[in-house]
Amino acid sequence: MKQLKSIVILALITISTGYLFGGNDEPASKSAKVSISGSVQDKESREALPGVAIQLEGIDKQVYSDTDGNFSIEEITPGTYTMKVSCISYEEKTFSVEVGNAREVNVSVKLAPVEP
């Protein structure tokens, strides 16, 4: 009886250790989170564009470029995304971005001004 009790305790410790230190059933590539960062500039003048909307279509991720035209979208699962970049007085730009297992993908976007 004492031996059975020891086996049960050892089994419980082993199972709980698995849950605490490695109980994730997802492959590493699916659970890894990465980010897309970059900058947005005027195509002609090369000036930074603040307040530009950057959206990943198909998921609920949208950010705006800062005063230096820089942006970052965090906590993205690796895959291929359609990025839509839009700003008043500029042509909207849509393109594909492939996010692999690298921690960060950098994107440089140049928007053309809309002709009046």
List the domains of the chain with CATH numbers. 28-111 (2.60.40.1120)
Tell me the residue type at 83: M
CA 10 to chain centre: 41
pLDDT tens digit sequence for 23-72: 433 444 456 789 999 999 999 999 999 999 999 998 888 999 999 999 99
Q: Which amino acid type is present at position 91?
A: E
- Of 53, 65, 114, 67, which Cα lies nearest the Cα of 89? 114
The predicted model gives 90-109 an average pLDDT of: 92
Q: What is the pTM of this model?
A: 0.70
Q: What is the pLDDT of residue 46?
A: 96
